[in-house]
Amino acid sequence: MKRNLLAVSVAVGVLVLAGCEKEPELTTPIQQASYGIGLNMGQSLLQDGLDDIDAQALALGLEDALAKAEHRVGDEELTAAFNTLQERAQERAKSLADEAVQANQKYLEENAAKDGVTTTESGLQYEVLNAGDAEGPQPAADDVVVVHYEGKLVDGTVFDSSVERGEPAELPVNGVIPGWMEALQLMHVGDKWKVTLPSELAYGERSPSPVIPPNSILVFEMELISINPRQE
């Protein structure tokens, strides 16, 4: 039976069960933990776009499961119902992805039109904030560099910052995301750039963190401090 969409509901969770006459207290660790599981369940359902779930029916199913009671809906009906939810979730995900693509395209077009912004063949966009020595060294793909940076989403949310940590990062050029790898090899030591990465030059659909939604454009201010000697 396809229940992966609602796998979180396997956890013991909802406190307001069908037929309860009064709101339960939340004083003991078990009560508080149970409430927390219910919150997590509800938030997961909302993230899946299931904001019209029938809370009373959900509570009734949980109550029957805990009581080991006879199921009120047959397996075939449940399978069909879960398939319907799965299809609806897929449609919602596709719609959100299409909206993100359109919004990203508009953002990149508007950013590319700004004074001082250069767009490379790959689609990477950069603006020189401070220029180092134009005759200075540039990293190669097999170099290790020291960089100060701050990464943001297009709404200004900071998701990573060596500046906030107070210590620059030491990174292999060929070990970073494609947009960074390209930008670093264009920079000279001492350059500080604002770099805008289309999602395909960043993490694409597979985000490494909940802070970074799939298909996100990433905006970095990055300063190339030095190039470490290559290790033969």
Q: Is 149 a catalytic residue?
A: yes
- Nearest CA to 172 out of 142, 202, 148, 195 is that of 142
CB 162 within 8 A of CB 150: yes
Annotated catalytic residue within 35, 53, 107, 160: 160
Q: Please, are residues 128 and 116 in contact by the beta-carbon 8 Å criterion?
A: yes
Backbone angle region of 215, left / alpha / beta, with phi > 0 → left and psi within -120 to 50 → alpha: left
Active site residue 159: yes
Token code pair at residue 136: 């200075």
Enter the tokens of residue 201: 């030059």
Annotated active-site residue 220? The verdict is yes
Q: Where are the alpha helices (DSSP H) in 19-174?
A: 29-47, 55-67, 75-112, 162-165
Tokens read off for 99 = 């909206």
145 strand-pairing partners: 171, 227
82 assigned to active site: no
Please pick, among 48, 149, 217, 227, the residue that the annotation labels catalytic.
Answer: 149
Catalytic residue among 203, 212, 217, 227: 203
Identified catalytic residue from 48, 143, 217, 220: 220
Q: Is residue 212 annotated as a catalytic residue, yes or no?
A: no
Active site residues: 149, 159-160, 177, 203, 220
